[in-house]
Amino acid sequence: MAGRVVLAYSGGLDTSVAVHWMTAELGGEVIAVAVDVGQEADFEAIRQRALAAGAVEAVVVDAKDEFAADFIAPSLAANALYEGRYPLVSALSRPVIVRHLVAEARRHGAGAVAHGCTGKGNDQVRFEVGTRALAPDLDILAPVRVWGMTREATIAYAEKHDLPITISRDRIYSIDENLWGKAIECGILEDPWAAPPEDVFSLTVPTATEPVELVVGFEAGVPVSLDGTPLRLVDLIAKVGAVAGSTGFGRVDMVEGRRVGIKSREVYECPASLALIAAHQDLEGLTLERDVAHEKLRLEPRFAELAYDGMWFSPLREAISAFVTSTQQHVTGEVRLRFLPGGGLDVVGRRSPVGLYDHGLATYDAADSFRHEDAEGFVRIFGLGVKTWAAGQRRGLTGEST
Ligand code: ARG
């Protein structure tokens, strides 16, 4: 007896079969929860599909603003790119989904949460570690990991029980999408040598024939305006994505190291996230003090790893975020992005009311405020240790004593 179970429901084949399977095989009462994190979907149709599959209740949660404010913004502040390239699209949405699974479990008095992940991926890790962090008392069910059905068998199960699935036997790609981008897997992409066919792309289809410029305004590390017009973060991300994507910018094709030890070929479309990270990194160049900037660079990959590994709700991720937040106080200003037809991006300008660029110090023109005579002593003492070492080496070679 599984009792009441809150299932993270996508409307796809696996989670639809999971609703029926947990009801029929485990005697559970399934509450399906679909979370809107900005994916392209008809949520009312998804809700109806969950009920038709046997859910006792189906809930749709619009978490777009929360996703942007609590997960995307901190990740952008950390310029988070897993393995230097992947802006954590799926990894960021799982913790917000977990937050709502736990909230719905409390609201409905459920004793367990469930997800439709397989045993091979990262998402199971994120769902389960996240749930244990927020609600250590809840049980976790992973029906897809235990039912042992192939994809064919899963489709046959759905057909046998008349489950309303929209998936056809020849649908080839596995897709996960949200405000921060899109992940595309499976099919021909499982051959890391095979170039991705054009038809896998939807957010980065190049149509622009001229360069396009966008001015992104930031306040304390958060993007707040485009070309001078204030925008809600969710709308700003969508707008940047549309402009950047129309030039073909934002594709990533990589072999990635999953938490579970598997290397996998991943294709991503991330026009908004990669453009905003480029702009944010550039503005930090202007506004962060040198030592702070360098220390932050050391922590950024760790932040990305923790988020990727499902450790969003962990003391270390929170401590790194606290450091990042304290660095962002003066990351305020504007960045000029120029997107080039064919997918290129140049950052061509930046300015800030609190920038650290001092023209009087930096200029090579005659009229400057820098005290050149101070440099001589500074450089001499800076190099003293190396000079002393070199002199010792030479004595060692020639056998002289001090
Ligand atoms: N490899 C990426 C990640 O681990 C994408 C996962 C996509 N998830 C999916 N269910 N298709 O974050």
Of residues 2 and 189, more confidently modeled:
189
pLDDT of res. 170: 57
Q: Which atom of ligand 1 is nearest to the CA of 121?
A: 4
pLDDT of res. 266: 98
Q: What is the pLDDT of residues 208-239, one digit of tens each?
A: 999 999 999 999 999 999 999 999 999 999 99
pLDDT of res. 164: 87
In the chain, what percentage of residues exceed pLDDT 70?
98
pLDDT of res. 171: 67
What's the average model confidence in pLDDT over 9-25? 97
Q: Which atom of ligand 1 is nearest to the CA of 122?
A: 4
Q: How confident is the model at residue 397 (pLDDT cuts 50, 70, 90)?
A: confident
The enclosing H or E element of 337 equals strand 333-340
What's the average model confidence in pLDDT over 233-256? 98
Ligand 1 pocket list (CB less than 6 A): 90-91, 122-123, 174, 176, 183, 185, 256, 266
Closest CA to ligand 1's atom 8: 176
Where are the CATH 3.40.50.620 domain residues in the chain? 3-160
Q: Does domain 359-398 have CATH number 1.10.150?
A: no
Q: Which CATH number fits domain 3-160: 3.90.1300.10, 3.60.10.10, 3.40.190.10, 3.40.50.620?
A: 3.40.50.620
Ligand 1: residue of 82, 94, 122 to mutate (most ligand atoms within 8 A of CB) is 122
Distance 267 CA to ligand 1 centre (A): 10
What's the average model confidence in pLDDT over 352-365? 90
pTM of the model: 0.96
The pairing of beta strand 222-226 with beta strand 212-219: antiparallel
Q: Decide if pLDDT at 169 tops 70.
A: no
What's the average model confidence in pLDDT over 121-149? 98
Query: What does the mean pLDDT of the chain come to?
Result: 96
pLDDT of res. 402: 61
Sign of the C-alpha dihedral, residues 382, 383, 386, 388? Answer: negative
Paired with 57 in beta bridges are 31
* CATH number of the structural domain 174-288+330-351: 3.90.1260.10
Closest CA to ligand 1's atom 4: 122
Where are the CATH 1.20.5 domain residues in the chain? 359-398
Pairwise CA distance, residues 367 & 198, whole Å: 55
pLDDT of res. 57: 98
In order, the DSSP letters of 237-280 are HHHHHHHHHTTTTTEEEEEEE-TTS-EEEEEEE-HHHHHHHHHH
| b/e burial code for range 256-288 (CB count within 10 A of at least 16 → b) | beebeeeebbbbbbbbbbbbbbbbbbbbbebbb
Q: Which atom of ligand 1 is nearest to the CA of 89?
A: 12
pLDDT of res. 167: 65
Where are the CATH 3.90.1260.10 domain residues in the chain? 174-288+330-351
pLDDT of res. 271: 98
Q: What is the pLDDT of residues 18-33, one digit of tens each?
A: 999 999 999 999 999 9
Distance 251 CA to ligand 1 centre (A): 15
pLDDT of res. 168: 62
Closest CA to ligand 1's atom 3: 90
The enclosing H or E element of 89 equals helix 89-107
Q: What is the pLDDT of residues 69-86, one digit of tens each?
A: 999 999 999 999 999 999
Q: What is the pLDDT of residues 259-311, one digit of tens each?
A: 999 999 999 999 999 999 999 999 999 999 999 999 999 999 999 999 999 99
Ligand 1: residue of 185, 200, 254 to mutate (most ligand atoms within 8 A of CB) is 185
The residue assigned the tokens 């101070």 is 374
Pairwise CA distance, residues 97 & 34, whole Å: 8
pLDDT of res. 172: 81
Active site residues: 14, 94, 123, 174
